[in-house]
Structure formats: structure tokens, C-alpha cells
């Protein structure tokens, strides 16, 4: 009987050792945490490929389905489906090195900062048809990584018309907010621009032109990523978070590009956290007049996430 009992204990002893063996790889946490920066967090397939309800009447004699536009209000949508043609974008572009901790905080999960530590401030006088015939846009662009893909991300972006704002927020997932309408001012060899909201300056930039530039010199690379979080109205429900990926869908044209000495600053105010980026040094600058087509994007990642993070 004693031998029998000891025979029963041996497998039990093996089972108690198994978790210890399984935990051994966890002791190599430093290499894993370092590699996680290029590993894409898991994505769930949430959005279906086709509608699961189309609103058409199902019974005989029922009223025909109501017309429903691209966005609310459905009978007079403020913007249309893509493509949205940027017929003209005159941009003052200034490259700068931001505070690294502030840049890291400005990039939401599952994106991570990319290999290029430089950021870009953009001031644009735009005409994007048919969404908005004339509007100002300002934004910050950071170099980011989604898994093995490297591209651009805009943590802060403002626009002076609600059509452009709604199309950017609802359709493309960009964090667009309203700003006052200003324009790039050109005098002699200098161009200046500012983004203000309700009279307060969010960012200010300038360039002194020196030489002709080219599209290859512009500090944008890869596709454009945006992150949107769709909140549910019921308390305690998770939010739907999506990474939307856009490429320049073609017809990119250059009218003129000039390069020179640049300057950018974020004076600071209570409304936006953009001033936390605090430029440590200024890089190159450009005054560019270009056009392109913004077409359909794709959902590169999606998942249910907590409504807020601590």
C-alpha cells in the first residue's frame, strides 16, 4: 500500500513542477518588452464585409425605404463619400524635434513611435472638393509604427470649416477640431502662419526661403494612420477602437516647393496639449504648393477597448 501511495505522489510532484517550468521564459522580460515595440497587438474582426441589415421593406404593401445619405443629417449630408480631391494645398511645413516623452504620450495604442524622432508642423491653405472650397488646416505629424509598417500619424489637427472637420473625424478617424480661419502671409522671402482657436494661438511658424526643393525632400513617409474610438452611450460598455490606414491614392502633383530656414512654436493655452511637444530643435522647412486625391482607407486594426484608460 505504501509503495502504491508513493507511486501516486510522483505524478503529483511532476504537476507541481510544470508551472515552474512554464514561468521560466517570463524571467526574460527585458528582451520581450523591447521587441514588443514592433509587435502588433491582436486585432479582432468586428466590422463585417457586407451590411447585416439594409432597411428595405420586407412585407408586401409596405412603404418603400427612405433615402439615407452618407452622414447625418441624412437628407442633407454635410460631406460626401470619398474620394475627396485636394485640388490645392499651399503648405508651410516645419520639421522639429519634439519632447520625446510628450511625443510618446501623444501616440495611442496600438501604434508606437517610429524610428524617426523628428516631427512636422503643417499650416495649410486648402481647397478640398467637394467637401470644402476654402479652409485652413494645421496639424502635427509624428513618425509611427503599426507592427512592421512605418508611417505618419496626426495627434493634433485643426480645421476652419465644419465640413472638413466632420469628414476627417467621422470618415477618416482624424482628431480634427475647429480653429479660426487664417491664411499664410507672404512678404519678400518670408512666409508666416498661425493656428488660432477662439483668439488663442495654438501654434505659430515661419520660413525664410533659400532654395528650390523637391517632393522627395518633404518629411512624410509611408501611409497615414489615424486612430478613432467610438464610444457607446450605455454606461459600462466598451468602446470600439480602430486604426484607419490611408495611402495617397494618386494624382499627386507639385506646383512649387521651396526650402529654407524654419521656425515653429507652441505658445501654450488651456485648450490643447500640443504645447507639451516643446520643440528641442528646429530642422528643415518648406513652402509647398501641391495637390492629391484622398480616397478610401482601410481598417488596419480594430478591437473592443475600455472606454477610458487611467
| 229: pLDDT strictly greater than 50 | yes
Q: Which one-letter DSSP state was computed for residue 40?
A: P
pLDDT at 4: 43
Q: Which residue has the higher pLDDT, 87 or 3?
A: 87
| 155: pLDDT strictly greater than 50 | yes
Query: What's the pTM value of the predicted model, to 2 decimals?
Result: 0.84
pLDDT at 55: 72
Cell numbers placing 70? 452618407
pLDDT at 54: 78
User: Phi and psi (nearest 5°) for 147?
Assistant: 65, -120
Kindly state whether residue 99 falls inside one of the protein's structural domains.
Answer: yes
Kindly state whether residue 143 falls inside one of the protein's structural domains.
Answer: yes
Kindly state whether residue 155 falls inside one of the protein's structural domains.
Answer: yes
Q: Which residue has the higher pLDDT, 23 or 132?
A: 132
Band of residue 15 on the pLDDT scale cut at 50, 70, 90 = very low
pLDDT tens digits, one per residue of 167-186: 999 999 999 999 999 999 99
pLDDT at 58: 64
pLDDT at 53: 85
Q: Which residue has the higher pLDDT, 247 or 32?
A: 247
List beta partners, residue 287: 92, 258
Q: Are 277 and 203 in contact (CB under 8 A)?
A: no
Cα torsion 69, 73, 75, 77 to 10°: value is: -60
- Looking at beta carbons, which pairs linking 268-273 to residues 24 or more positions away fall under 8 Å? 269/200, 269/201, 269/202, 271/197, 271/198, 271/200, 271/202, 272/156, 272/177, 272/197, 272/202, 273/102, 273/106, 273/156
| 83: pLDDT strictly greater than 60 | yes
Q: Which of 252, 122, 134, 219 is nearest to 174 (CA)?
A: 122
| 162: pLDDT strictly greater than 60 | yes
Please, what is the average pLDDT of the chain? 86
Where in the sequence is the domain holding 212, given as residue range(s)?
86-222+248-290
Query: Count of domains in the chain?
Result: 1
Q: Which of 31, 68, 76 is nearest to 51 (CA)?
A: 68
Kindly state whether residue 94 falls inside one of the protein's structural domains.
Answer: yes
Kindly state whether residue 5 falls inside one of the protein's structural domains.
Answer: no
Which domain CATH number covers 278?
2.40.400.10
pLDDT tens digits, one per residue of 239-289: 999 999 998 766 889 999 999 999 999 999 999 999 999 999 999 999 999
What CA–CA distances, in Å, run from 257 to 17, 75, 198?
67, 41, 31
pLDDT at 310: 73
Kindly state whether residue 175 falls inside one of the protein's structural domains.
Answer: yes
Band of residue 19 on the pLDDT scale cut at 50, 70, 90 = very low
Query: Which element (helix H / strand E) includes 52?
Result: none
Burial class of residue 28 (count of CB atoms within 10 Å of its CB; 0-12, 13-18, 19+): exposed
| 24: pLDDT strictly greater than 60 | no
Kindly state whether residue 203 falls inside one of the protein's structural domains.
Answer: yes
Q: Which of 50-54, 195-199, 210-214, 284-288 has the lowest mean pLDDT?
A: 50-54
Kindly state whether residue 8 falls inside one of the protein's structural domains.
Answer: no
Q: Helices in the chain by DSSP H: which ranges? A: 2-23, 29-35, 100-106, 162-166
pLDDT at 25: 40
| 231: pLDDT strictly greater than 90 | yes
| 7: pLDDT strictly greater than 60 | no
pLDDT at 281: 97
Q: How many CB atoms lie within 10 A of CB 270?
A: 6
pLDDT at 16: 40
pLDDT tens digits, one per residue of 43-78: 888 999 898 887 776 666 666 678 888 899 999 999
Q: Are 218 and 93 in contact (CB under 8 A)?
A: yes
Q: Are 247 and 226 in contact (CB under 8 A)?
A: no
By percentage, how much of the chain surpasses pLDDT 90? 68
| 104: pLDDT strictly greater than 70 | yes
Look at strands 224-230 and 149-159 and give their pairing: parallel
Amino acid at each position: 500500500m505504501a509503495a502504491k501511495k508513493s507511486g501516486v505522489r510522483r505524478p503529483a510532484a511532476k504537476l507541481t513542477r510544470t508551472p515552474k517550468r512554464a514561468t521560466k521564459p517570463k524571467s526574460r522580460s527585458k528582451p520581450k518588452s523591447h521587441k514588443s515595440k514592433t509587435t502588433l497587438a491582436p486585432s479582432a474582426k468586428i466590422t463585417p464585409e457586407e451590411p447585416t441589415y439594409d432597411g428595405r421593406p420586407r412585407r408586401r404593401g409596405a412603404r418603400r425605404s427612405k433615402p439615407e445619405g452618407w452622414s447625418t443629417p441624412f437628407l442633407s449630408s454635410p460631406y460626401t463619400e470619398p474620394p475627396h480631391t485636394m485640388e490645392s494645398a499651399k503648405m508651410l511645413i516645419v520639421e522639429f524635434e519634439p519632447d520625446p516623452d510628450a511625443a510618446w504620450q501623444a501616440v495611442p495604442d496600438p501604434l508606437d513611435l517610429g524610428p524617426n524622432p523628428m516631427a512636422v508642423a503643417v499650416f495649410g491653405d486648402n481647397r478640398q472638393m467637394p467637401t470644402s472650397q476654402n479652409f485652413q488646416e494645421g496639424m502635427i505629424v509624428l513618425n509611427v509604427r503599426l507592427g512592421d509598417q512605418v508611417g505618419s500619424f496626426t495627434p493634433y489637427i485643426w480645421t476652419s470649416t465644419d465640413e472638413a472637420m466632420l469628414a476627417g473625424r467621422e470618415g477618416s478617424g482624424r482628431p480634427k477640431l475647429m480653429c479660426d480661419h487664417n491664411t499664410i502671409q507672404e512678404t519678400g522671402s518670408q512666409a508666416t502662419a498661425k493656428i488660432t482657436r477662439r483668439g488663442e494661438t495654438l501654434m505659430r511658424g515661419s520660413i525664410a526661403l533659400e532654395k528650390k526643393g523637391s517632393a522627395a525632400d518633404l518629411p512624410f513617409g509611408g501611409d497615414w494612420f489615424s486612430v478613432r474610438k467610438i464610444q457607446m452611450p450605455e454606461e459600462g460598455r466598451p468602446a470600439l477602437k480602430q486604426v484607419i490606414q490611408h495611402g495617397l491614392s494618386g494624382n499627386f502633383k507639385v506646383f512649387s516647393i521651396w526650402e529654407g530656414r524654419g521656425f515653429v512654436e507652441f505658445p501654450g493655452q488651456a485648450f490643447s496639449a500640443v504645447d507639451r511637444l516643446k520643440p528641442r530643435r528646429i530642422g528643415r522647412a518648406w513652402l509647398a504648393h501641391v495637390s492629391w486625391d484622398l480616397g478610401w482607407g482601410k481598417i488596419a486594426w480594430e478591437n473592443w477597448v475600455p472606454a477610458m484608460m487611467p
